[in-house]
Chains A and B, each alone.
Chain A
């Protein structure tokens, strides 16, 4: 218990003091995960809509695979991306290993299945309700997909926030492809891993408190968006 109260004290001290290293780490965490979720959404939402609305051979198998990929272990993604981006690997010439760009790539790969699979489910449910009416009005598959994406936008926001939370909370992928370099690729989760291994537990716990607060705030935002939308738009 004593260690936990020390942790809160440490967290408070760091936040109030606006410790420069801390703000740098938090800022990088947010920027990396935010970029990853934006790219994953730009790819994953249309993909989910296309699968939901489309009819093509192998569709069922694709849905199963997509759902399974939601459970990709971050550390496996990290290893794969590391092998791809290493100078000895196929994409080494870009030289982005051990930079935030590599972390964005890894996290995008991690979240893309989540965004695609969950949006597919949401849009498919909406499609069941809307299909006849949209076809009656003359909407083709592409128009329908776009219309559904907009109509389910509040549920999709929740999904995107969930994706962001998953990215911000993972350590396995970013620590391998980022290298946890001080001031360059150190994010909240990798900093916690480092401080824990150094035995500086109050500091690690303090960072953990900050990370948890961020995740909590995200979930509250997701809930509030859904609630407000429901009341306003029905």
Chain B
């Protein structure tokens, strides 16, 4: 599927421009972090890449071999669980992907084991804690064997312990060969998890740098202000 090529992508709603002529090529390999203050357009850009939104103008295309929806997955800030067991939620995604019934149950059990939720596999997913649900969301996405995994502020609502667990799981998924594209407004997390930074400000892609140089020697004044906490938070 990769690389994902965005060409002059603009997204506007009711006359308000949220994403402003963004052009970028996201390739396989480095863990890509999309950084920016609230309202910069990170979540919208993520949804445009994943295909949940269509650009108002410009194009988004998967230029690699056999492009298609099934080989990518997304984890949202708030996990959405179906009213069934934890295992059932993972199986649901696999069923949609066309996996056979036998294979579904096996894969689902394996992935729940890998994220440490084997003990609650049979419990109703909606009664699990926030951290458990987010780990379940990751498991559900992981089970699909995606080429690209999008994550939209996955730990924003979690306590530090759950955050550590989630970051560890992301690492495992990455180790399996999946490309990670993630948004966060937590600079520490960006440093821990990212290889390159896409920095957004007011809908424009202002800078793209490898992680080390972004934080030590930002190329743009906006990024510089952001790192020092001087950009408005909203």
Contacts and interface: CB of A to CB of B under 8 A. Distances in A.
A143 B96 CA distance: 9
A132 B76 contact: yes
Interface in A128-164: 129-130, 132-133, 135-139, 143, 147, 150-153
Interface string A199-234: 000000000000000000000000000000000111
A234 B73 CA distance: 25
Given A143-B96, A233-B126, A133 B83 contact: no
Given A129-B80, A130-B80, A132-B76, A234 B92 contact: no
A131 to B, nearest CB: 9
Contact of B76 (A133, A143, A232, A233): A133
B83 A233 contact: yes
Given A147-B82, A151-B82, A233-B127, A136 B74 contact: yes
B69 interface: yes
B13 interface: no
B62 to A, nearest CB: 15
Interface in B66-111: 69-70, 73-74, 76, 80, 82-84, 92-93, 96-97
Interface string A89-122: 0000000000000000000000000000000000
Nearest to A133: B80
Contacts of B140: 137
B69 A138 contact: yes
A129, A137, A153 — most chain B CB neighbours (10 Å): A137
A138 B52 contact: no
Given A130-B80, A132-B52, A233-B83, A137 B96 contact: yes
A175 to B, nearest CB: 41
Given A130-B80, A132-B52, A136-B52, A234 B96 contact: no
A225 to B, nearest CB: 14
Contacts of B50: 136
B73 A136 contact: yes
Given A137-B96, A138-B69, A233-B126, A151 B52 contact: no
Nearest to A139: B96
B80 A138 contact: no
A79 B125 CA distance: 50
A232 B74 contact: no
B70 A234 contact: no
Contact of A234 (B47, B69, B76, B124): B124
Interface string B207-227: 000000000000000000000
A81 B127 CA distance: 48
Nearest to B73: A136
A18 to B, nearest CB: 41
A138 B124 contact: no
A234 B126 contact: yes
B70 A138 contact: yes
A139 B125 CA distance: 19
Contacts of A143: 96
Contacts of B76: 132-133, 136
Interface in A53-107: none
Contacts of A151: 82-84
Contacts of B93: 137
A148 to B, nearest CB: 9
Nearest to A135: B52
7 contacts: A132-B47, A132-B80, A138-B96, A153-B83, A233-B124, A233-B126, A234-B127
Which 8 pairs show the lowest CB-CB distances between chains A and B? A234-B126, A133-B80, A234-B127, A233-B124, A136-B74, A151-B83, A138-B96, A137-B93
Given A151-B84, A234-B83, 15 more contacts: A130-B80, A132-B47, A135-B52, A136-B52, A137-B92, A138-B70, A138-B96, A147-B92, A151-B82, A232-B124, A232-B127, A233-B83, A233-B126, A234-B125, A234-B127
